[in-house]
Amino acid sequence: MSTSPDVLFEPFRVKSLTLKNRIVMAPMTRSFAQGGVPGEAHAAYYRRRAEGQVGLILSEGAVIERPNSHNDPGVPFFYGEALAGWKPVIDAVHAAGAAMGPQLWHTGSVKSLTADWEPEGPIESPSGLVKPGEVRGVAMSQEDIADSVAAWARAARDAQRLGYDTIEIHGAHGYLVDQFFWDGANARADRYGGASLGERARYAAEVVAAIRQAVGPDYPIILRVSQWKQQDLKARLAHTPGQMGDWLLPLVEAGVDVLHCSQRRFWTPEFPEIDGEAGLNFAGWAKKLTGAATISVGSVGLSGDFINVFSGERSTPTSLDGLVRRLERGEFDLIAVGRALITDPDWAIKVRAGDQQRLKPFAAEALAEFV
């Protein structure tokens, strides 16, 4: 007998953000924004997931106003004329009964996995490295850092002005913010580097604090973090709970309300040497150590993981019983769903109805469509 999915459909609130259920649409790059400007297709795409009863939609990564902050010509911007394109998106999502936040992004020195494209001009990162020993781009100056912090805050304030319910900072997967965290990409000798993870978290803490000042005390800030990097799938920032606390606590103290903890597989224990193979996952430990609300994510409802899509792996629907049990015991607060919602906007409706037979598989071909 399957476990009841009712816990997925309980309401949740953090500050001014009220959600009708615990299901989050994970941010997923789609690369259909011509000239960086979202259009009618974007409003329709996100509206369909709202109509499908997703509680919170996080947009694909939309980049802040910095030179070469994107690594793909189809990535949307979150500044300038693109802002007018984002207004119909949030209006459509609200009309369909969901909440939404843009994922604010800077790709740093990471090259796209799908686009064979190089920007003109310098690519910025903490130390001009994309991973240990591999140079790509230039190291950010103190002025670059200050200007980028201001750009993050400006984008967040624009999101609030447009009516978005929250924002998410992309601090994961080896992109700019995460490159500051990672000693493999951050070799700085100034206040934004350092031997400890807490020291290397300074840039992110300044970004969060600037956003908090821009949006006020009641507007929720989400930060996406990960141990793994696309440059190194086995990378780990925090090897112990103490190191994880040193990393994440200053960010929560700076103003983060929700930690979006990305794993390749949500059921993987973060520190099995402490609590065993059935122990807390990344989001569970982050919640325990910081007291912040957490979103878990990673291969929810489908076999395999997203990174394998690029090698042609096909994914099939899987049981949600383990996920439901983790939510019921309060290990984390929300669950983000990725590939399943690309293939099937009505995934949440089918899950609530117990309609397992109608859940759809996922194949890489779905990434070529924007429906």
Residues noted as catalytic:
175
Q: Tell me how crowded residue 291 is: count the other CB atoms within 10 A of its CB.
A: 9
CB-CB contact of 96 with 50 (8 Å): yes
Count CB-CB contacts under 10 A for residue 239.
11
Pairs from 189-198 (Cβ < 8 Å, separation ≥ 24): 190/142, 192/126, 192/145, 193/126, 193/127, 196/246, 197/237, 197/238, 197/243, 197/246, 197/247, 198/246, 198/247, 198/250
CA distances 324 to 55, 127, 128, 318, Å, are 16, 42, 43, 13
Would you mind telling me the total number of residues written for the chain in this entry?
Answer: 371
The tokens describing 132, both together, are 């240990």
What's 283's DSSP letter? H
DSSP state of 98: -
Give the integer Cα–Cα distance in Å for 324 and 52: 19
Going by their DSSP bridges, the two strands 134-135 and 99-105 should be labelled as: unpaired
Q: Do the beta carbons of residue 78 and residue 85 sit within 8 Å?
A: no
